[in-house]
Each structure stands twice: as C-alpha cells, then as structure tokens.
Structure 1
Amino acid sequence: MGKNLLTVKDLTVNVEEKEILHGVNLTIGKGETHVLLGPNGTGKSTLGNTLLGNPKYNVTRGEIWFHGKNITEEPVNERAKMGLFLSFQNPLEVPGVTLSSFIRSAVELKTGKRMRLFEFRKELEKAMEVLQMDPSYADRDLNVGFSGGEKKKAEILQLLMLEPSLAILDETDSGLDVDAVRTVSAGIEAYRRKCGGSLLIITHSTKILESLMVDQTHIMVEGEIVKTGDASLVEEINRDGFGKYEKSLA
C-alpha cells in the first residue's frame, strides 16, 4: 500500500441489514490531517466505527489496510494495538473504573509493557495540564458526572497518553463552548507535536479546524464520498453549505 498509513478500498457497510456506506475509498498518509465533512446522518460515524472494527458494522465488500496490513477482519483490540484510536461522539460512563486506571490499562495493553505508577502519573499530570483538567478527575470514575466538555477532554487525554499513529476524532467539538474548543484543539496540537500521528477529523462543523493544518478534505453525502480536495473545501462548506453535493445525488 506504498506510503499510505491507511487505505480504504471500495468499503461497503451494512448496519442491521441496511447498507449505510456505498463503496467508500480513502487514503491517509503518515502525519497527514484529513477532514470528513457532511450533513448529519450521512454515514460519517459509521465509517469511524467500521475503521475501528465495531462488530455492529458489517463489511459486505471492500478492504481496510493499515500499516500495510489488511485489517478488515481484525478485532477492535488488535487494531488498537496497531495504533488506531477513535474518540466517540458520546463517551460512555464506566462506574467503578477510574479515568487514571482505565488509561494506564489501555497504555499497557497497547505497548505490552507494565508502566511504573510514578512514571505514569507524571505523564498523566503533564497531559492534564495541557487540557487544563483538574488533577482530581484522574481518580474519578470514567466520565461519571463529567460535563460534556470534561468528557471530550478525557477523550483527548487518552489520545495524548496512547500516542496512536492514526486518531479518528468523531464530532469532538460537538456541544463545546468556544473556550473548550480551544483547549481541545491545544490537546490535538500537542498530540501532533508529541508523536506526529495522523488525524481523521469527522465533523459537520468546522470550529475545531481553525488552528489545524488540513491536508485533505472529504465531503460525504448519503454514504458516499462525493468530493475530495484541499483545505479550501472547508471554506467552501462554511460559505455555501452541503446543498450542491446533496443535489448531485438526488
């Protein structure tokens, strides 16, 4: 698959017998930032979940290649070990498991190595400072009682600690105020500086893109990528919306 970190070929996906994605093709190179824009309900989150291997999403045709390996049939845990990361639109609450212990377990599973508690806490505190998170959140149950903004920060905290080679951020800016978007954006920039990973940012808004250098922009309508271009596509959507792309499929 050459220099591409991720290659998606003719990906067709069903959810409960209904076809949601129709022959999607996508390539992402190492260190690149890609944006997937489109109206609500058009299949953007389906693509993110399928890339991570969520078993609810059934691949009926096509292939997913990551780091030169066909991972179409690989389970979620193996994809995560290889360096795939997905932040969720609506992060789950996990009573009885602290944010700190959850992240430490995830890091150890990814690396296959035990991490000394002192070293882990030191790295965690540094990452929390970037996100302006109160250190006490580390010892609270994962997302339980967190505000929407704190849940999104907790997702980016996981991103900083896990250092994936490809991070898929699904509606990370959804429901955030301007200050929270700035903080989350700072966390994403810190991730890029720290490990130079690639990004696929899935959104129907563009607030979170203002401080990022975008390599490619993709427009998805009704389960198909109907247009791919550079960062100027973001400006076009801000100005004109998705109307003409929706009409082209009508």
Structure 2
Amino acid sequence: MSKNLLTINDLKVEVADDNKEILKGINLKVNKGEIHVIMGPNGGGKSTLAYTLMGHPKYKITNGEIIFCDTKINDLKTHQRAKMGLFLSFQYPEEIEGVTVEEFLRTAKTAITDEQQKIIPFKRLINKKMEELSMNEEYASRYLNVGFSGGEKKKNEILQMSILNPKLSILDETDSGLDVDAIKIVAEGVNKIRNDENAFLIITHYNKLLEYIKPDFVHILLNGRIVKSGGIELADEIDEYGYEKIKNEFAGL
C-alpha cells in the first residue's frame, strides 16, 4: 500500500477575480508519518497554497494537479476534500455565538463520517480527547472560540484535529502572534496526534514552533515557488540570516 498522501505537480494558481498569478509551479510530495514545514516571507504564496489545497473558490488552478489519497482533487469542493481527510487550521479561527464546542464537533464529525454521532458516546469521546490534550472539560460547553484567548483557540483547533482524525492536517501560520506557552500547546497537540498514518503541513514565518516539533522536511516558498528544501538546518539558517540571503540567492525568480 502506498505511503504517499499528497502529491502536487507543477501547480499554478491565480486569484480568480483579477487573474494575478500567485503560485508559479509548486511541486511537493508528502508521505504518511511526515511533518513538512513551509516557510517564507509575506506575499510568497504560503496561505494561497493552504487555501488552494482546501478548495477555496477565491483561487483558480491554471496548471498542474493535486493528488490526495491517489485521487486528483483539483475540481472537488471543500466539503468533499474534508471528507477525504484534509483539514485546515486557520490562523484566525472564527467565533460562533450560540454554538458550543461540543455541538460544533459533533456536527462536524457527523458530516465527515456520514454517521450520526449519538450524544452520550460522543460526549465520552470528547472528554477522553480533552483529557489526552490536558484540556478542562468546561471547554466543551463554551461557545465556539467566543471569549477564548489565543492559546485556548489553538487548543480548540488541536481538539478538532483529534476528534476528526484527518489524514493530512494543514496548519496555516497557527503560531502567529502566540506567546511561548500557546506555541507549546500547538506543538504538544501535534506531537500527540501524529502517527504513522497521518501527516502535517505546517506553514509558518518563524522557527520557534520547530523547537518543539521536529519536522522531516523544511521548504522555502518564495515568489510562488519552492526554491529550497532541506531539514531542520534550513530553518536554523533562516533564523540566523533571515530571508535576505535566500532572496538574493534566487533574485531572478
């Protein structure tokens, strides 16, 4: 059985309403059990890649293909991709008044699995997952992200991943603006959820998160292209020299 989860071949993407090309030929392979980190300066296309993978209608694929679980997903809707096992953790999660965390997760789990989640068994499941993630049970009865601190919102995102059990989790700058304690929450959650059958694609500006998560691969996304790939040493290089050295190295792109 193939270990490959995601293959991106020569992916080019533009903004649908103004035809501005943002991704200019992305190639990437992600296998089960791997953590890939994508770093790069603002405007390079990192979030565009995340949204394109999830099927955001704002972005139009003009070339290339996205293969997920041996299926080309270019034309699939967002909910279809989610049901296949794709998950996107937002940089700024939405607040939803009147919907509790437990209600939201039970509805999401039902939508993903096509199986009605019974209230009592699901409550046992969510309590078990919250205990594993060192979360207070009161979170389940609070309105989704309403009044949550940055760290609490990130705990909730990790809880969603744990409940929905996606094959590939995409974290779009989930560490942006967080203090060290909140970054540790994200890292510990990823480390607990990670296994040989899933994978993570983590998008970040900084390598602070990487002090607690050890990636298998680090990629630098610059001007719509992955210009350099390596291991954790590449993130250390960025931490020491910033992006100017790489910008100068690939100035012609």
* Fold conserved between structures, TM > 0.5: yes
Partner SS, residue 114 of structure 1: coil
CA drift at 1:21: 0.7
Residue ranges of structure 2 left out of the alignment (5+ in a row): none
* Farther-moved stretch of structure 1 (205-214 vs 88-97): 205-214
1:242 paired to 2:243: yes
Describe the superposition over 1:85-105 as per-residue Cα deviations: whole angstroms up to 9, x where unpaired.
000011111222211111111
Opposite residue 181 of structure 1, the aligned amino acid is I
In the comparison of the two structures, how many residue pairs are matched? 249
Helix, strand or coil at the partner of 2:194: helix
Question: Contact conserved, 1:80 with 1:110, CA < 8 A, in 2?
Answer: yes
Between 175-184 and 69-78, report the one with greater CA deviation. Answer: 175-184
Work out whether residues 151 and 181 of structure 2, in 8 Å CA contact, stay in contact via their aligned partners in 1. no
- What is the CA-CA distance between 1:147 and the residue it aligns to? 1.7
Structure 1 residues not aligned, in runs of 5+: none
* Cα distance, 1:43 vs structure 2: 0.9
Equivalent in the alignment of 1:219: 220
Match of residue 148 from structure 1: 150
* Superposed displacement of residue 120, structure 1: 1.3
TM-score w.r.t. length of structure 1: 0.94
| Cα separation, 2, equivalents of 1:60 and 1:38 | 23
Match of 1:164 in 2: 166
Kindly indicate whether the alpha-carbon contact (under 8 Å) linking 1:131 and 1:184 is maintained by their aligned counterparts in 2.
no
Q: How far apart are the structure 1 equivalents of 2:3 and 2:127?
A: 35
Cα offset for 1:3? 3.8
1:206 aligns with 2:207: yes
User: How far did residue 233 of structure 1 move?
Assistant: 1.1
- Secondary structure of residue in 2 paired with 1:249: coil
Task: Confirm or deny: 8 A CA contact 1:108 1:115 kept in the other structure.
Answer: yes
- Match status 1:46 vs 2:48: yes
Q: Quote the Cα distance in structure 2 between the aligned partners of 1:68 and 1:139.
A: 39
The residue type equivalent to 1:123 in the other structure is L
Q: Given that residues 132 and 183 in structure 1 are in contact (C-alpha distance below 8 angstroms), is that contact kept between their aligned partners in structure 2? A: no
In 2, the alpha carbon distance for the partners of 1:135 and 1:56 equals 37
* Partner Cα separation in structure 1 for residue 109 and residue 210 of structure 2: 27
Residue 228 of structure 1 aligns with which residue?
A: 229
Give 2:11's aligned amino acid.
Answer: L
Q: How far off its partner does 1:110 sit?
A: 1.3
Moved more, 79-88 or 168-177: 168-177
Q: Tell me the secondary structure at the aligned position of residue 212 of structure 1.
A: coil
Give the alignment partner of residue 92 of structure 2, picking from 71, 90, 93: 90
1:138 equivalent in alignment to 2:130: no
Identical amino acids, percent of aligned pairs? 51
Moved more, 122-131 or 83-92: 122-131
C-alpha RMSD of the superposition: 1.7
Amino acid paired to 2:177:
G
Partner of 1:186: 188
Q: Is residue 2:14 matched to residue 1:14? A: yes
Q: Whole-Å Cα distance in 1 between the matches of residues 218 and 56 of structure 2?
A: 24
